C-alpha cells in the first residue's frame, strides 16, 4: 500500500469511529433526558441502557405520573440533546 492509501484507510477508520461515538453520545443524552424527566417528577429509574450490541437503548422507570407527566417524559428525550 502506498502512503496515500494508508492515509485514506486511517481517515475512513477515524470517520467511522467518530460517527459511532457521536451516535452513542446522542443516544446517551436522549435516554438521559427521559431519565431526568422521570427523576424530576419523583419517579425512579430502574434500568438505563445505551448498549447497541445487546439490544436497543432503553430506560425503565416506576412512579405515579399524570398524562402530562408522561408527555413530559416522552418529549424530554428529543429535547434534552438539543438543550445540551
pLDDT value for 38: 98
Q: Alpha-carbon distance 55 to 49, whole Å?
A: 9
- The predicted-structure confidence for 21-72, as pLDDT tens digits, reads as follows 998 899 999 999 999 999 999 999 999 998 877 778 889 999 999 999 999 9
Closest CA to 59 of 21, 32, 20: 32
Alpha-carbon 72 to chain mean position? 17
Place of cell 467518530: 18
What whole-number distance in Å separates Cα of residue 64 and Cα of residue 73? 12
What does pTM read for this prediction? 0.82
Provide φ and ψ at 43, rounded to 5°. -85, 180
Amino acid at each position: 500500500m502506498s502512503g496515500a492509501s494508508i492515509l485514506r484507510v486511517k481517515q475512513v477508520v477515524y470517520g467511522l469511529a467518530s460517527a459511532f461515538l457521536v451516535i452513542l453520545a446522542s443516544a446517551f443524552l436522549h435516554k438521559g433526558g427521559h431519565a431526568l424527566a422521570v427523576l424530576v417528577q419523583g419517579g425512579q429509574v430502574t434500568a438505563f441502557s445505551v448498549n447497541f450490541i445487546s439490544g436497543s437503548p432503553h430506560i425503565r422507570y416506576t412512579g405515579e405520573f399524570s398524562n402530562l407527566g408522561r408527555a413530559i417524559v416522552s418529549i424530554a428525550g428529543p429535547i434534552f440533546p438539543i438543550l445540551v
